[in-house]
Chain A
């Protein structure tokens, strides 16, 4: 890796071009990037635009420019500001889908294990573990006051006497504390096969190798049960 006088890594133009080509080759690209009037309706309605340096109009314009340098400028934290609400896609007069373009670029960032992606997703590892290893995402025992102090004092309700309170929910599937619902082991095994075949486990390995090892231990246990 080359570095400039400030110690910042210099990314070769060829690599930036490769990233752009990877995005353009995605089978969804033609559907998501059409004509753009630069009208800015997408940015006007974009929720994260109100709080972040982020504009779906710029995303579209950069993609339309076909300039790998401009597209590269979005591959750091920029693409991670998007809320994925698809307001932009709903209101675009040309039926562009900037949110969809963001999804393609994010997929590339995690697939290639970019440092920016690793940094942004580091605090997300607890969720990744739960989803990938057990087949659902938010479990009741994750809602702890120390993780969500900004949700107020009542959030402690969910962390006291949790097994009894969950048992009182009149749906048998929900009477567990470590999963949103009680997923059958055979169902988890099918999910693991899908993740293997679709390359999802490989993606997690590239973005968080330590987490991948923990997940694989759980997967091995469930598969051998």
Chain B
């Protein structure tokens, strides 16, 4: 049956003066954190002028300062292992925009993927890992930027638990003392997609391709907007403030069409444990609840994500759908990767789409990107490296332990 889609396109840019409050009244954890700081209970990593912050509004209309400069990259273990174009695209934009940052070896995973999959940790362990990484940014005089949505969700939760529970603070402080660190908490927990969102107008100035014929469907990450939902960016000019604005904001600013689909709110099917050990659940969810609606209802050219697990799950599980007669396919990539493509970043060397399993070449061709030229240059580059050539890096290691 043919679907009427014309009324679905353009829903993303409906404007409203209505502030979406979802009937909730919660404590403003930011204010409580500053009170604890005033009492000398914790140290706070503040957003300073040198961080060139840009203000955004969260679910209740509270202001959140998003630092855009002098950042410490908190990488994602899933992205770095599996979707390398994700962090590379973030750093590529920061280079293009002349911003300062550090990416280094002195960082651990947040361990929250493992926790939500296996429960083999506890609040003390999770909070201590979080504070350990926050403190590393603090001692370098930088503000931490979290690449993964699960890190973002977990760290928001750990910040709240630390602010609200003295016993937890005392226990984490004891552990930090043992490893030579202090209890510090960032003034704001900031996800990279929030950085992309507030920088979207600067990013759009770098645009090389017309995206007006590209239909985007957005998959918002659960751990971005469902975990501690009050600390997520909403914008009255995007979905009338009724859905989170990140990722949709950059797609609209770059001139793409953002199409709605009926299961936008559903998770991706990752399940933390399921993606690795109970994959039939993940792949059924991907095809039935996400990819099919995106293609059949919205005729999507690309699915835009903002998280590690979502990008992996939605990309990797389409091929197997053919066994059940599912022919719908749509390339999947993070908002920052899509933006990098639009701004002329190399498909192979920067956006690294070669690691993705669902075919992204038709999207490149529709945008007007010569992916074959990029592939040939990349293959020649690999031969150079094999012969002992040096990698052309986006940055070099800082002098840190």
Q: Output the nearest chain B residue to A192 by Cβ-Cβ distance.
A: B179
What is the total of A-B residue contacts with beta carbons within 8 Å? 260
CB of B272 closer than 8 Å to a CB of A? yes
CB of A207 closer than 8 Å to a CB of B? yes
The majority secondary structure among interface residues of chain A is helix
Find A191's partner among B75, B129, B354, B382 (CB 8 Å cutoff).
B129
Known A152-B319, A181-B105: A193·B81 in contact at CB below 8 Å: no
Whether the Cβ atoms of B108 and A52 lie closer than 8 Å is no
- In the assembly, what is the distance between CA of A120 and CA of B77, in Å? 23
CB of A76 closer than 8 Å to a CB of B? no
Q: Write the B118-160 contact mask toward A (1 if CB under 8 angstroms, else 0).
A: 1111111100110010000000000000000000010000000
A residues 70-109 near B (Cβ < 8 Å) are 80, 83-87, 89-90, 93, 95, 103, 106-107, 109
Residues of B within 8 Å of A161, CB to CB, are 382
- In the assembly, what is the distance between CA of A87 and CA of B153, in Å? 13
Q: Which of B29-37, B192-200, B336-344, B389-397 lies at the interface with chain A?
A: B389-397
- In the assembly, what is the distance between CA of A95 and CA of B22, in Å? 11
Residues of B within 8 Å of A182, CB to CB, are 105
Whether the Cβ atoms of A52 and B120 lie closer than 8 Å is no
Find B382's partner among A47, A124, A168, A170 (CB 8 Å cutoff).
A168
Whether the Cβ atoms of B175 and A197 lie closer than 8 Å is yes
Residues of A within 8 Å of B276, CB to CB, are 123-124, 127
Whether the Cβ atoms of B357 and A186 lie closer than 8 Å is no
Whether the Cβ atoms of B114 and A128 lie closer than 8 Å is yes
- In the assembly, what is the distance between CA of A132 and CA of B111, in Å? 9
B67 to chain A, nearest CB (A): 21
B residues 150-201 near A (Cβ < 8 Å) are 153, 161, 165, 167-168, 174-175, 178-179, 181
Whether the Cβ atoms of B107 and A86 lie closer than 8 Å is no
A132 to chain B, nearest CB (A): 8
Q: Output the nearest chain B residue to A207 by Cβ-Cβ distance.
A: B120
Whether the Cβ atoms of A173 and B80 lie closer than 8 Å is yes
Whether the Cβ atoms of B132 and A194 lie closer than 8 Å is yes
Known A168-B385, A169-B84, A198-B121: A184·B106 in contact at CB below 8 Å: yes
Q: Which of A111, A151, A166 has the most chain B CB atoms inside 10 A of its CB?
A: A151
- In the assembly, what is the distance between CA of A207 and CA of B391, in Å? 43
CB of A216 closer than 8 Å to a CB of B? no
- In the assembly, what is the distance between CA of A109 and CA of B289, in Å? 31
Whether the Cβ atoms of B81 and A142 lie closer than 8 Å is yes
Known A50-B285, A138-B82, A198-B124: A171·B105 in contact at CB below 8 Å: no
Residues of A within 8 Å of B283, CB to CB, are 150
Q: Which of B49-57, B208-216, B224-232 lies at the interface with chain A?
A: B224-232
B166 to chain A, nearest CB (A): 11
Q: Output the nearest chain B residue to A46 by Cβ-Cβ distance.
A: B267
- In the assembly, what is the distance between CA of A203 and CA of B274, in Å? 21
- In the assembly, what is the distance between CA of A172 and CA of B398, in Å? 10
Residues of A within 8 Å of B121, CB to CB, are 198, 200, 203
CB of A190 closer than 8 Å to a CB of B? yes
Residues of A within 8 Å of B125, CB to CB, are 194-195, 198-200
CB of A214 closer than 8 Å to a CB of B? no
Known A123-B277, A124-B277, A182-B105: A110·B349 in contact at CB below 8 Å: no
Q: Output the nearest chain A residue to B288 by Cβ-Cβ distance.
A: A50
B137 to chain A, nearest CB (A): 13
Find A131's partner among B87, B111, B357, B393 (CB 8 Å cutoff).
B111
Q: Write the A171-192 contact mask toward B (1 if CB under 8 angstroms, else 0).
A: 1111100011111101110110
- In the assembly, what is the distance between CA of A194 and CA of B355, in Å? 34
Whether the Cβ atoms of A83 and B393 lie closer than 8 Å is no
CB of B331 closer than 8 Å to a CB of A? no
With A27-B165, A106-B118 given, can you name 4 additional A-B contacts, CB distance below 8 Å? Answer: A86-B222, A150-B283, A194-B179, A197-B128
Write 26 A-B pairs (CB below 8 A) sorted by A numbering.
A48-B281, A52-B281, A83-B271, A84-B272, A86-B223, A95-B24, A109-B119, A121-B273, A135-B109, A137-B109, A155-B357, A157-B355, A161-B382, A164-B385, A168-B382, A170-B88, A170-B391, A170-B392, A171-B84, A180-B81, A184-B104, A191-B108, A193-B175, A197-B178, A199-B124, A203-B120
